[in-house]
Structure 1
Amino acid sequence: MEILDTALDTIKGKLEKAYIEGDVGGSERIVSAIAGGFVLSNGIKNILHRPVGAVATIGLGLALLARAATGKCVVKGLVGKKDKAAKLTVIEHRYFVK
């Protein structure tokens, strides 16, 4: 039982650290978890009827659940990098030849 308790404490510590350092707020994480569970269950339900669409749906559901569990959002990270790049001032030189 000690191994299980140690493992659970380690997981709990990592989740708490991810929650504190994450860029996704608490309400967004809850909505992501609910939506991820719903999307994942629909993907699993449709795996035999529409396999290609179901695999994509399962992938989306797992991505939403990972976002909810870790508090990190890849899309927000990419958008944040673009916002920083957009704040740079670009000086343009134009040369006119007559």
Structure 2
Amino acid sequence: METTLNSIGNTLEEALLQDNPNANVERSERILSIGAGAFVFIKGIGNLFSHPLLALGELALGGGLVYRGVTGYCPVKAAKNLGNDAIIEETTVVIE
């Protein structure tokens, strides 16, 4: 049983957590995103017939979190950090 769990863990680590040169999400965030996204996605599948509108939101959110975890790239985080790299200081001279 333990060897099966180790092989599953190794497969996930090799396949899902490969290094991405465009990654802006740390390894721990990626693991948490995959776990939380899978939970929300499965919960959305369960709610599909009883609460379809809620289920669509859960499916979208869960899928987005899984995508973020697998790729290691978060477009929201990239957009947030976009303006921080190019801070330009301007000097204003007032002549009276």
- After TM superposition, the structure 1 stretch with the greater mean CA deviation from structure 2, 34-43 or 76-85, is 76-85
CA distance in 2, matches of 1:91, 1:51: 56
Instruction: Structure 2: give runs of 5+ residues left out of the alignment.
Output: 1-14
CA distance in 1, matches of 2:38, 2:30: 12
Shift of 1:91: 5.3
Once superposed, what is the RMSD of the aligned Cα atoms?
2.5
Which structure has greater helix proportion? 1
Paired letter, 1:49: S
| 1:7 match | none
CA distance in 2, matches of 1:92, 1:53: 52
Paired letter, 2:79: L
What TM-score do the two structures reach when normalised by structure 2? Answer: 0.70
Paired letter, 2:56: V
Instruction: Structure 1: give runs of 5+ residues left out of the alignment.
Output: 1-11
What TM-score do the two structures reach when normalised by structure 1? Answer: 0.68
Q: When the two structures are aligned, how many residues end up with a matched partner?
A: 81
Shift of 1:64: 0.5
Do 2:20 and 2:71's aligned partners in 1 also have CA atoms closer than 8 Å? no
Counting aligned pairs with the same residue, the percent is 33
| 2:88 match | 88
CA offsets 1:28-57 (integer angstroms, 9 cap, x no match): 110001100111011111111111111111
| 2:71 match | 70
Shift of 1:93: 8.1
